[in-house]
C-alpha cells in the first residue's frame, strides 16, 4: 500500500518478479484503504521522494545514474493505521516538522502511538522529532525509528546516541524496537506486552 505515484511502479516490479501487480494498492491523501482489518490512511510527509536509477533500469536508468538524478515518484507520505482493537498509530515516514502532524494526525485521527523517524540528515533529528511528539502529535507512547546509527547494544540504548537524545527529550514513554521482540499496545496507546 503506497500513496502518490508509487503503485504503478511497484505493480510493474511485482509483475517483473513473478508477483501479482494487483497487490500494489493506492491510498491517496484524504482517503484510506482497509487491509486485513487494518484501516490505512496516507498523510503528508515532507522530504525528497526519488527512486534510485538502478530501480528504473535500462537505458533510462543508466542515463539518470550518469547524470546523478533520481526519478520523482510523487509526494512523500506518512501513514495512520487504525487497528481492530481501536489503536491508532502514526508512522511518520522520513519527514520534517509539519503543521499536519497536529491538525491531521492528532486532531483528526487521534493517534495514540507514534513511530517517529529521528535520524537527522535524512529525516527529523532527535530534537525536532521530540518537538513533533511533545507539541504536535502528543501520543501516549512513541517508538523511535530510522536512527541512521547503532542505537542499541545488547538490548540497551547506546549512550551518546541519537536514540538516547530523543528518549531524553520526549515527554511520553519511548519504547525501543529490538530484533525478535514483539510489542503490543492497547487502544489508548499504552504498551501492554514486550516493552
As a three-state string, the secondary structure of 75-126 is CCEEEEEECCCCCEEEECCCCCCCCHHHHHHHCCCCCCEEEEECCCCCCCCH
Mean pLDDT by 10 residues, the chain (195 residues): 81 92 87 93 87 89 93 86 97 93 98 94 90 98 92 93 96 95 97 95
Q: What is the pLDDT of residue 50?
A: 81
Taking alpha carbons only, the member of 120, 170, 167, 116 closest to residue 143 is 116
Q: What is the pLDDT of residue 75?
A: 81
Task: Give the CATH number of domain 32-47+77-193; options: 3.40.50.300, 3.40.50.720, 3.10.450.50, 3.60.15.10.
Answer: 3.60.15.10
What is the DSSP secondary structure assignment for residue 134, as one 8-state letter?
A: I
Q: Which residues contact 91 (CB under 8 A, 6 or more apart)?
A: 78, 79, 80, 81, 115
Per-domain residue ranges for the chain? 32-47+77-193
**Strand, helix or coil for residue 183:** coil
Q: Which residues contact 178 (CB under 8 A, 6 or more apart)?
A: 152, 155
Q: What is the pLDDT of residues 12-52, one digit of tens each?
A: 889 999 999 999 998 888 789 999 999 999 999 988 878 88
Radius of gyration, CA atoms only, the chain: 18
**Strand, helix or coil for residue 12:** helix
Q: Which residues contact 98 (CB under 8 A, 6 or more apart)?
A: 44, 45, 46, 136
∠ CA 98-121-32, nearest 5°, is: 40
The CA distance from 195 to 191, in Å, is 6
Amino acid at each position: 500500500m503506497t500513496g502518490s505515484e508509487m503503485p504503478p511502479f511497484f505493480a510493474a516490479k511485482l509483475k517483473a518478479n513473478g508477483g501479482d501487480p494487483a497487490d500494489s494498492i493506492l491510498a491517496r491523501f484524504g482517503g484510506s484503504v482497509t487491509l486485513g482489518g487494518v484501516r490505512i490512511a496516507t498523510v503528508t510527509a515532507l522530504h525528497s521522494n526519488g527512486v534510485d536509477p538502478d530501480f528504473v533500469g535500462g537505458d533510462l536508468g543508466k542515463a539518470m545514474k550518469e547524470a546523478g538524478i533520481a526519478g520523482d515518484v510523487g509526494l512523500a507520505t506518512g501513514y495512520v493505521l487504525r487497528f481492530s482493537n481501536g489503536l491508532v498509530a502514526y508512522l511518520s515516514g522520513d519527514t520534517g516538522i509539519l503543521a499536519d502532524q497536529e491538525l491531521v494526525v492528532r486532531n483528526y485521527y487521534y493517534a495514540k502511538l507514534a513511530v517517529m523517524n529521528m535520524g537527522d540528515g535524512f529525516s527529523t533529528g532527535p530534537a525536532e522529532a521530540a518537538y513533533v511528539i511533545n507539541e504536535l502529535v502528543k501520543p501516549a507512547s512513541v517508538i523511535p525509528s530510522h536512527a541512521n546509527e547503532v542505537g542499541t547494544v545488547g538490548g540497551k540504548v547506546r549512550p551518546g546516541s541519537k536514540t538516547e537524545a530523543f528518549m531524553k527529550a520526549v515527554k511520553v514513554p519511548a519504547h525501543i524496537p529490538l530484533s525478535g521482540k514483539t510489542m503490543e499496545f492497547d487502544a489508548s496507546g499504552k504498551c501492554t506486552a514486550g516493552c
